[in-house]
Amino acid sequence: MIEVRHLSKSFDGVEVLKDINAQFHKGKVNQVIGKSGSGKSVLAKCIVGLLAPTEGEVLYSGESFQQMDKERKKLLRQEIGMLFQGGALFDSLTVLENVMFPLRMFATMSVAEMRDRADFCLRRVRIEGQDHKYPAEISGGMQKRVGIARAIAMQPKYLFVDEPNSGLDPQTSIVIDELTKEITEEFDTTTLVITHDMNSVMGIADHIFFVHNRQLWWQGTREELLRSDNQELQEFIFAGSLMRQVRQAMEKR
């Protein structure tokens, strides 16, 4: 489990996040939603340690990240997998080398074992026969799947997924969402997805956190989300025509 306590973050005196308190549970897909610029990506970066919070702390399985020494942080990071918005695959490495990269850096196994593990991860995300291609030679959807394969190579306890569906067609988005859900259940990871895609939220979210006006404005399940009378949340989730139709259908019932 990941716990965020009284987390605030400012840049040059401008407050971006204010007193965020949240618990992200193990084996669940926790989705952080919010408008562009609401601070959800900053929240994710504070949680993974890419940004230092101005105030507050982040606890991984009860252990404060801010209190850890450099070596402990390094070890913890080997338990974290992250899929970035653009994939963040290394351009100079092939698909196979990208997935093997964290294993080469940290795992104590033979090259053959690393290859087997990388092959398993690639099969798990349904990629085969692309081992020797470079990231630029595969589609955006494939890059995301390779990113997931790389994220799970070290069998992480914590999985972070940043805007997984940006730039993808609806079908590929569903594939990425399903993979995120399957991997969370299969590896029992604490998964945190940053998104503003309501299809993804309605498809796979176990628990939803709505960030608005620098604060954690609302949290709950999918069912609670649809029935919430929170004004700002309503405006956000029913902004699209599809979600408006869902609401109309619910009101008719």
What is the DSSP pairing of strand 215-220 with strand 207-212?
A: antiparallel
Query: Distance between CA 97 and CA 104 in Å, rounded?
Result: 9
**Least CB distance to another protein at residue 92 (A):** 8
Is 89 near another protein (CB under 8 A)?
Answer: yes
Tell me how far, at minimum, the Cβ of 49 lies from another protein, in Å: 8
- Residue 71 burial by CB count (10 A; 0-12/13-18/19+): exposed, middle or buried? exposed
Phi, psi of 111 (to 5 degrees): -60, -40
Phi-psi region of 155 (alpha: psi -120 to 50; beta: other; left: phi over 0): left
Residue selected from 6, 50, 63, 66 as contacting another protein according to rule CB under 8 A: 50
* Candidate residues 7, 29, 48, 95; the one interacting with another protein per rule CB under 8 A: 48
User: Least Å distance between CB 47 and another protein?
Assistant: 11
| Among positions 9, 28, 40, 77, the unique one binding another protein when judged by CB under 8 A | 77
List the x/- string, 102-131, binding to another protein by CB under 8 A: x-xxx-------------------------
**What is the rounded distance in angstroms from the CA atom of residue 27 to the CA atom of residue 32?**
16
Q: How far is the CB of 145 from another protein (least distance, A)?
A: 15
Based on the shown chain and the rule CB under 8 A, indicate whether residue 230 belongs to the binding site for another protein. no
Separation in Å, CA 138 to CA 21, 122, 230: 39, 14, 42
Does 60 sit near another protein (CB under 8 A)? no
The answer to whether 236 and 244 have CB atoms below 8 angstroms apart is no
Using the minimum distance from each CB to another protein, give the nearer residue, 125 or 233. 125
Q: Rule CB under 8 A: say whether 138 interacts with another protein.
A: no
Residues 6 or more apart in contact with residue 158 via CB below 8 angstroms: 2, 60, 79, 80, 81, 189, 190, 191, 192
* Interface residue list for another protein (CB under 8 A): 48-50, 73-78, 80, 82, 84-86, 88-91, 101-102, 104-106, 154, 160
